[in-house]
Every structure is written in structure tokens, then in C-alpha cells.
């Protein structure tokens, strides 16, 4: 689920401040501590091979985030794609992979334990390929 800035409902609109809020933007029930992550990917980077060995060879952690600059294609287990671009807020449920369509910086907020396991698998697969 992605949300472009202009599509986020305005809750406060004054000459000095605008506050937008998207409600019901994913569910964090049953997740513990969250981590915050800042990623930089170069154009063409595809994480799919690095997720091999996880369930469905996909990231099994949910993420909430923001594309600072660039564009990503997220592919879900059911085969659907979503393009998240500069300025988009997003929620990625478990069961996804991604590819950088251009040089991209993005921020994630993720359950620390679940995403830690994914990052460990990515590092393991990177070590195998060197």
C-alpha cells in the first residue's frame, strides 16, 4: 500500500503548517521493538537473489517507510508489483522483494527482530557469492 503526499488527507491546514494523516496504514499488532533504517540502492539493484532461503524467498518483515528520492518496484508473493517513488509513504506487508528502478534512498521502520533475521539472511547470501 503506497500513498502519494498529495493523496494524504489534510488534518491541519494553516498559513504556517500543514499536517497530513493517513489512518489505518498497516497493523503493528504482535510486533515488539521497531528499528529505523536508511537505505541507499543503486539503479538495477535487485534484492530477490539475496532473499533466497527465507519463506517463499521473500522478506517476511512488514515495513512502513518513505521514499526520499528515486523509485522502487516492490513485488509481492502473489506476483503483483507496486512502484513507490520520491515522496511516497508506503506499507509493505510480509512477503515481498524489491528492485531499484533508479538510484534510490528510502527510510524503513520495521520490527527489529523480524527484519534482523532478513538482514542476516541477506548478509549470509552476500558472503556465499563472494
Is the distance from CB of 45 to CB of 115 less than 8 angstroms? Answer: no
pTM given for the model: 0.87
CA separation for the pair 58, 98 (Å, rounded): 9
Split at pLDDT 50, 70, 90, the class of 54 is: very high
At 19, the pLDDT band (50, 70, 90 cuts) reads: confident
Q: Where are the alpha helices (DSSP H) in 7-64?
A: none
Strands (E) in the chain, as ranges, are 2-3, 10-13, 18-20, 34-41, 63-69, 71-76, 81-85, 89-92, 96-100, 104-111
Q: Taking the domain 2-22+32-128, which CATH number applies?
A: 2.60.120.10
Backbone angles phi, psi at 118, to 5 degrees: -65, -45
Digit-coded pLDDT (tens) for 59-93: 999 999 999 999 999 999 999 999 999 999 999 99
Amino acid at each position: 500500500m503506497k500513498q502519494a503526499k498529495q493523496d494524504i488527507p489534510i488534518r491541519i491546514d494553516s498559513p504556517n503548517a500543514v499536517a497530513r494523516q493517513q489512518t489505518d496504514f498497516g497493523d503493528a499488532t504482535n510486533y515488539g521493538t521497531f528499528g529505523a533504517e536508511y537505505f541507499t540502492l543503486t539503479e538495477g539493484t535487485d534484492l530477490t537473489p539475496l532473499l533466497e532461503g527465507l519463506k517463499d524467498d521473500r522478506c517476511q518483515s512488514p515495513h512502513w517507510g518513505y521514499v526520499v528520492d528515486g523509485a522502487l518496484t516492490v513485488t509481492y508473493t502473489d506476483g503483483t508489483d507496486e512502484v513507490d517513488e520520491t515522496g511516497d509513504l508506503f506499507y509493505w506487508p510480509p512477503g515481498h522483494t524489491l528492485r531499484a528502478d533508479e538510484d534510490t534512498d528510502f527510510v524503513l521502520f520495521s520490527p527489529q527482530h523480524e527484519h534482523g533475521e532478513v538482514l542476516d539472511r541477506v548478509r549470509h547470501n552476500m558472503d556465499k557469492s563472494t
